[in-house]
Amino acid sequence: MKKSDQLSITAAAFDQWRINRVSRSERTPLALRQQAVLLYKDYPSSRITSALKISGTQLKLWNTLCAPKDDYPDFVHLPSPNTPSTVPLNLSLSFPNGTAVVLNGDISSTLISTIIQECKL
């Protein structure tokens, strides 16, 4: 498939979604956001935003939230919430939206998961 075909296909999918959505305030489906982010490797953001009729801010946010996990080499798997922590933690978290969190001491993995979820929003 040619590169231009993928941009056209994604643009058509966005147009079809806009026709069928219930209201203008409806969130863009995750599948469409992911398709838009995948176009980054072949197109400049200005061409993507123009073709998909979205803002540059939206595309940047989607890129941050939908980026493949391989883009995060420092990702650390947390223990299961059912596994009690017996070692004090010293943890620093930095999020793409600029939020930074530093945790020290005996902290449950449930609390860590909750903090991460809240910072993603």
Indicate the pLDDT class of residue 120, thresholds 50, 70 and 90. Answer: low
pLDDT score of 121 more than 70 = no
Indicate the pLDDT class of residue 104, thresholds 50, 70 and 90. Answer: confident
pLDDT score of 63 more than 80 = yes
Model confidence, pTM: 0.54
Q: Write down the H helix ranges in 22-55.
A: 30-38, 45-52
If one compares 118 and 28, the residue with the highest pLDDT of the two is 28
Which residue, 84, 27, 31, is CA-closest to 58?
27
E strand or H helix at 109, and its extent?
Answer: helix 109-120
pLDDT score of 18 more than 80 = yes
